[in-house]
Amino acid sequence: MSRWLLFHCGERRCALPVAGVLRVAPVVAASPLPRAPEWVEGIAAYGRAIVPQIALGALIGEPEEGGLVMVAQSGAGPVALRVDAIDRVIDLVEPTEGRPCGDGIVIGTVRRGRFDLALLDLSRLAIPVAALPPVTAADWDETHETIEAGTDRHGVPRDLICAVEGGFIALPLARVLSVERAGVTLALSDTAGRPGAGGPAAMAVTVALTRGRAVLGVAQVLGPRQPGTPGYHDATLLDCDGLEPADGLPVTGGQDQPGLSTRVMYLLGAGDRLALLPASKALFVGAIDHWCPLPGGDHGPDGMVPLGGAILPALDLGRLFGDAVCARPMAMALDARGTSWAVACDSISERHGRIEGRPMTLDGLATLGQARIAEGLVPVLDADRLVLPGQAS
């Protein structure tokens, strides 16, 4: 026997395990999130939580939607489910076999009195982000009035510039899936995107193909740039669909190597502001093709971004230094005490350095100390103490 919360969604009676329900509240207006499925109404704030709001009826085939939400744990993290009414808590024997439907979250039905109850398993819920249209070199013709992929109305830079064997390459930003520390088996690519003879790569850039994905080994990621600008370095723009598909992702995930006096870190830039992050706290990097701003200023995240197949709360790196929030082309997902969130920035590259000093808070910025690199003495962010504003315990 287990305890389930009974509720109504249109004409259908459903139930969720009580243990996964966080709160019940009146529905609030959600900020739309482009490229999300139709049943995702947007993102909304419930208490201190910023969560995707889901039209449960649209997900399981019931057209009516009510004025209540249940915030519950799911396979996509906490979500708010819009429902018609909350009934009561009941004890049920879970079925050994179910009839999946509605994106797989309905695991079966049980008879309760005169009604059938649909039992939901939200651990099966995922929120996919729709793929952008394919991008080729022809899309960057400056005579085009509008480019839908890799840029937006704010003029976000279009191509990711990387240093490789023999020069520089440019990758359409809309095709970039992740930027991670490379494993020892990944060779440095040449300017045609093929494995070269220049030794192992420092970073791995994964790009989407029409069929599959490709992994490029690069020496350094210089950041997104506009074609024709000095920072573009006359880079060779690669046609991603001409690259060799990869079956797996040969990266190690950026763990620090024990016993070394220096640490692998990522240098994040926002305007003229710089900060370092230990590689062991970085999850992945992706392009920001949509930024959904959130109200609240210093009392919550600056926005939400679709990143790595999830919708993450994000902080603007510039605002951490006291600057105004502005459009950024990239974001790094971090692990902060087991919670994933993102820092939006202008550039990301790998550095090696030794942390000096002691942990401290500098003008509200939580740091592990500082590290001296080629750019100077740069603060090292403490991801575990750099909690979202308004969420400090």
List beta partners, residue 341: 334
Tally DSSP H helices, then E strands, for the chain. Answer: 2, 32
Q: What is the predicted pLDDT for the residue at 48?
A: 60
CB atoms under 10 Å from CB of 236, counted, come to: 16
Q: At 147, is the pLDDT very low, low, confident or very high (cuts 50, 70, 90)?
A: very low
> Within 10 Å of residue 180's Cβ, how many Cβ atoms?
23
Q: Which domains can be identified in the chain, with CATH numbers?
A: 2-124 (2.40.50.180), 140-242 (no CATH), 263-381 (2.40.50.180)
Alpha helices in the chain (DSSP H): 56-60, 317-320
pLDDT above 80 for 151: no
Q: Is the pLDDT of residue 84 over 50?
A: yes
- Amino acid symbol at 170: A
| Weakest mean pLDDT among 56-70, 246-260, 360-374 | 246-260
Per-residue pLDDT, 222: 74
| Range picked from 2-6, 60-64, 252-256, 382-386 for highest mean pLDDT | 2-6
- β-bridge partners, 172: 159
pLDDT at residue 238 greater than cutoff 90: yes
Whole-angstrom distance, CA of residue 26 vs CA of residue 6: 17
Instruction: Please provide residue 294's backbone torsions phi and psi, each rounded to the nearest 5 degrees.
Output: -125, 140
∠ CA 269-272-277 to the nearest 5 degrees?
Answer: 30
Percentage of the residues of the chain whose pLDDT score is greater than 90: 10
The whole-number pLDDT of residue 332 equals 87
- Spatial distance between the Cα atoms of 381 and 332, rounded to a whole number of angstroms: 13
Which two tokens mark 393? Answer: 């315990």
> Which among 130, 72, 157 is positioned nearest to 306, based on CA atoms?
130
- Find the mean pLDDT for residues 111-137: 67
How confident is the prediction for the chain on average, in pLDDT? 76
Going by pLDDT thresholds of 50, 70 and 90, the confidence category of residue 96 is very low
* Nearest CA among 152, 167, 149, 256 for reference residue 207: 149
Cβ-based neighbour number of residue 136 at 10 Å: 15
Cα dihedral sign for 52, 55, 56, 58?
negative
The SS3 of residue 37 is: coil
